Structure 1
Amino acid sequence: MSRSPNDDHEATGRRNRLLRRVLAHIGRVPPDVFWFGLAIVGALTGFALQLVDGDLAPRIGVLCLVIGFIVGFGRIIYAKLGRIERLVGNSIFALISDRSLSPVAVRFLARHHQRSVAEQESILNGVISTEDEDEANEWIKTLSQEATHDVRAVDHLPLSDWFTKPEVARCLDTQLRRIDTDDLKVLRLRIVTPEQLADRDERVLLREYIRRHDDAGAELRLVSADRGRALRNFYPRTSTLLVDVDHQPACFIGHYGDDHTMESAVIYLRRTEPVGACADQWKRLWTAATKGGADRRLRDVLDQHRDDPPFDAAPTAALAG
């Protein structure tokens, strides 16, 4: 029985509809799944052709195997890289466009673009928290390196830490070096306890700490623990690093445990209420140390102990903390 033109037309229509359905289903397959499937099909086809007798089939099999893997997995890798590039590009563009964010945020994200989406969003929002001491120290290092106008700090770490802990010493060295190389202003408040003033080894370390700041051209002011305790933002378990306060500020607030290890930290990358509160309290403490005469009185106490040994002869126990 011969087929009519209408039968051929209906058969063609059915094939076209079937093809459209298949393509529609393929279109709904996630790209990663599609390209992974293509790689698997290519690999299986290549493997099957290896089993066929003859000279040509195995060669075609190897070709299918290679093409399947290159096209399939190569496309997946390319897509992943494209997503990362778009994410980082968009994040950095957003940071540059947001004039309220500290420039530190742009530079940090550019150097650490492998961070998770959640971490990048935190940077974009301008507030980052961490309980990892290494990450906290990385932020202190970044703020010290990227500040453009000034660094203002409140310090009450054990004095020996500035001489024995490499990550702490490096941050101080970076800040003091940039006074000369980048015209950076470094203003630091050092909280001093009566116990430190009464201990010979602590006085030796304190004099060396003061000398290093003076030689570099930093402005260091001493303030008593009573003054610091009145301002809860700074003492006894909190240290603060403020950069570029009068421009596009950033602020590090670290919380320390009884053993003086950092338990947690919050980094603010834009002007917020906590940053404003820290800056205001810092200025009050700086005023008390300078105009109030606290710095001069504490230095006078040090001068009363001129018979203390020089720093080079400081006992090993003092430097070991």
Structure 2
Amino acid sequence: MQTLQDPRQQYPAPPYPQQPQDHPGQEQRMNPTADHGEQSYRGSGRLTGRKALITGADSGIGRAVALAFAREGADVLIAYLSEDQDARETVRLVEDAGRQAIAVRGDVQEEAHCQALVRRAVDEWGQLDILVNNAAFQMNHSSIQELSSAEFDQTFRTNVYALFYLCKAALPVMKPGGSIINTTSIQAYMPDPSLLAYAATKAAIANFTKALAKEAIEKGIRVNAVAPGPVWTPLIPSTLPPEKTQEFGADSLLGRAAQPVELAPIYVLLASQEASYITGMIYGATGGRPIA
């Protein structure tokens, strides 16, 4: 039985220690340590027998979702860029839950790699039931003049093009009852000019989700998105200035950043048959800040 907790004090609040990292960042260097549900998430068989592909699954929200899916009975393909140590830990968590984990290294900016991820899932399992588009890139800049065309392109290729490539490859092999879940952001609705490119991609993802949902439901496949607010992941100390990292999440109504485990149950719901009447929706988990 879960005990009642004050959500304001449930997890560490800022100021957080200074901890600059090189992008894309590493989980083991984060202080405080992020909670992915290692000790707390309890499954109940809601995804038994399902096969899931999650991008950016080595750390952060992706790791928390992979862990939760596994404890709900799903096998997981863990797609990641280059963080081998983080990916190995996610594999361990999935396997400790008694499920199969497949880790695949590579860059989702490349269409061929995205197509290969879908083929790998089908070759290994004969099916793909859940696609979670979660990989993301961001950098912080004080002015648009600091944002290079190359970085703008990289942000869109990682956050939007990859989602397009994966959805296009996955839809033909997914069966009725399948689920696509995209990760957008509060930045789609309350954009910070220092995250100009990232915020624009997240707005595109929200729009893409709503449009694709209308087509995909003709095959019986639901498409939804989750819009997190500030979440304590390696992306934060590796892309934000130290002063912003220290106060990250302080402007939420809870006065703190979310932990990845606090997002995972939303992805589980949207992947499960319990969400059979939910499609084309954006689910906010922003610590009280509005997304409409």
TM-score normalised by L of structure 2:
0.29
Where relative contact order (Cα < 8 A, 6+ residues apart) is larger, the structure is 2
Question: For the pair shown, which has the larger CA radius of gyration, 1 or 2?
Answer: 1
